[in-house]
A and B are shown apart, each in its own frame.
Chain A
Amino acid sequence: GAVVSQHPSWVICKSGTSVKIECRSLDFQATTMFWYRQFPKQSLMLMATSNEGSKATYEQGVEKDKFLINHASLTLSTLTVTSAHPEDSSFYICSARDGQGIGGELFFGEGSRLTVL
C-alpha cells in the first residue's frame, strides 16, 4: 500500500537553530501534503497544507515565517522550524492522500519528534 515516510524520526537542537523535516510519498505522487503537530496527550492539530509548486496554506494561528514549508516535487515536502524555541518541541506528522485509492485514504508518516533545548 501507499507509504509516507518522514525523516528524521527524532531531532534535538539548541534554541535559536533551525530544523528541517522531510516528508516523502514513496509510491504515489502527492500534489498536496498536510502537516500536523501533536503535543503530549493531545490530538493532532493541522498546521498547514503543502501544495506542490505553490505556496502552502497555513491554519489560523500558525506562523508561516516560523514554519517554512516547501513542496518542490510531487513526492517531497519539507517543514523547516526556524529559530526554534523550547515551546516548538512537539511531534510533527505529515500526511498525504493517494488520490487514486478507494475513498482517497489519507496516509501518515511515522512522525518526527523535535526537542528544543
Chain B
Amino acid sequence: LAKTTQPISMDSYEGQEVNITCSHNNIATNDYITWYQQFPSQGPRFIIQGYKTKVTNEVASLFIPADRKSSTLSLPRVSLSDTAVYYCLVGPANQAGTALIFGKGTTLSVSS
C-alpha cells in the first residue's frame, strides 16, 4: 500500500481556508485517496474520497493533480470544531478485504 506523508501540524484561525497536502508518490493505478477526521477518543470519520481531478462535498474539497502523486484537502472557513487530526489514506477501492494503513496524520489547531 502506498505510503503517505503529511505535515505533522497546522495552525489556523476561525473563518480561514485550510489546505492540507498529502504526498503519495507510490500510488497505484487502482488506489483511491481518502481523508478521515479524528477527534480525541473517537473513531475516524470519513470526510471525502477521490480518484482524480476535484471532488467536492458539503464539508470539503479534494484536489488531485493529474499525476496523482499528491492530494490536497481543502476545508473552507474553518471553525473551532474543526480542530482535529486529519489522515490521508491511499488504497484500493471495492476490496473489502484490504485494510487501510494510517500515517501520522496532521493535527489541525483552529483558534479564535
Q: Is the CB of A111 within 8 A of B93?
A: no
* Interface size, A (range): 20 to 34
A32 lies within 8 A of chain B by Cβ: yes
B34 lies within 8 A of chain A by Cβ: yes
Q: Is the CB of B42 within 8 A of A111?
A: yes
Kindly identify which residue among B43, B94, B103, B104 contacts A99, using a CB–CB cutoff of 8 Å: B94
Fill in one digit per residue for B74-108: 1 if any A CB lies within 8 Å of its CB, else 0: 00000000000001010011111111111111000
Kindly identify which residue among A31, A46, A103, A110 contacts B43, using a CB–CB cutoff of 8 Å: A110
Binds A, one of B10-18, B20-28, B44-52, B65-73: B44-52
Q: Is the CB of A43 within 8 A of B34?
A: no
Residues of chain B lying within 8 A (CB to CB) of residue A106: 34, 46, 89, 99-100
Q: Is the CB of A105 within 8 A of B96?
A: no
Chain A interface (Cβ < 8 Å from any Cβ of B)? 4, 6, 30-32, 34, 36, 43-46, 49, 51, 91, 93, 95-99, 102-111, 113
Chain B interface (Cβ < 8 Å from any Cβ of A)? 32, 34, 36, 41-46, 49, 51, 87, 89, 92-105
